[in-house]
Amino acid sequence: DARVTQTPRHKVTEMGQEVTMRCQPILGHNTVFWYRQTMMQGLELLAYFRNRAPLDDSGMPKDRFSAEMPDATLATLKIQPSEPRDSAVYFCASGLVLGQSPYEQYFGPGTRLTVT
Amino acid sequence: AQKITQTQPGMFVQEKEAVTLDCTYDTSDQSYGLFWYKQPSSGEMIFLIYQGSYDEQNATEGRYSLNFQKARKSANLVISASQLGDSAMYFCAMREGDTGRRALTFGSGTRLQVQP
């Protein structure tokens, strides 16, 4: 049963610290998404990659957030320095995109981040 | 303008009854996809059902069906024979095709509570 995995599941850190979240997409999927979920904003897209290349990171605060895919099996989202307003659940999702054909996005379990 | 609108913050339904969760969307694309996800209290996002803009038949997956009315730009989720385990947040989402944007835009969600 293929799944998207995310680590850590929970992270509590102090303001100003660096936070790194990791995601392992489903093997064979060519697209990876990072979403953030908060009570106030709901689910919003931060960034996504196709074949490891960033396609859209317009939803991500560039001054403190960075997203990378060092290889096809790992996606990372970093926050440096972290702030209390970054507290949220961060979801990674992956999918296999072939042209205009429909596809599903499979979500990981999320990383619950608390910045104090 | 909101891309995805879910006007019901919360819904109650009796076990074994059917329930309809509303979703309207806004896009100028001809090709797009509509999705419903379930988020139980454990937090993971579970894909339920997909409807493509060119699909003539309403999508069905077990007890889930999508009432797609293209002219009205609505994509309501119908859950038949509700079960206690259906209690969760439900999100409607859209992927716009012609713009090349492959990520999902989510609605604010509807919290469904199934009562015994």
- From B109's Cα to the closest Cα of chain A, the distance in A is 8
A41-84 residue pLDDT tens: 899 999 989 889 988 888 888 899 999 999 999 999 999 999 99
Chain B residues with beta carbon closer than 8 angstroms to that of A43:
91, 93, 104, 106
Rounded to a whole number of angstroms, the distance from the CA of B114 to the nearest CA of chain A is 22
| pLDDT per residue as tens digits for the range A14-29 | 999 999 999 999 999 9
Distance of alpha carbon B107 from alpha carbon B112, whole angstroms: 15
Which of A29, A39, A43 would you mutate first to test chain B, the one with the most B CBs within 10 A? Answer: A43
More confident residue, B32 or B91: B91
Instruction: Kindly provide the b/e burial profile for residues A35-71, where b requires at least 16 CB atoms within 10 angstroms of the residue's own CB.
Output: bbbeeeebbebbbbbeeeeebbbeebeeeebbbebee
Going by their DSSP bridges, the two strands B10-14 and B110-115 should be labelled as parallel
Mutation pick from B102, B106, B110, B111 vs chain A, by most beta carbons of A within 10 Å, is B102
Task: Tell me how far apart the alpha carbons of residues B72 and B61 are, in angstroms, rounded to a whole number.
Answer: 23
Lowest mean pLDDT among A52-56, A109-113, B76-80: A52-56
Kindly give the residue spans of alpha helices, DSSP state H, lying in chain A. Answer: none
Nearest residue of B to residue A94 by CA position? B103
Residue B104: what pLDDT?
A: 85
Residues of A in contact with B32 (CB under 8 A): none
Residue B100 pLDDT greater than 60, yes or no? no
Say whether B102 and A31 touch across the interface (CB within 8 A): yes
Residue B38 CB-half CA count within 13 A? 16
Chain B's closest residue to A110, CA to CA, is: B44
Min Cα separation A52/chain B (Å): 14
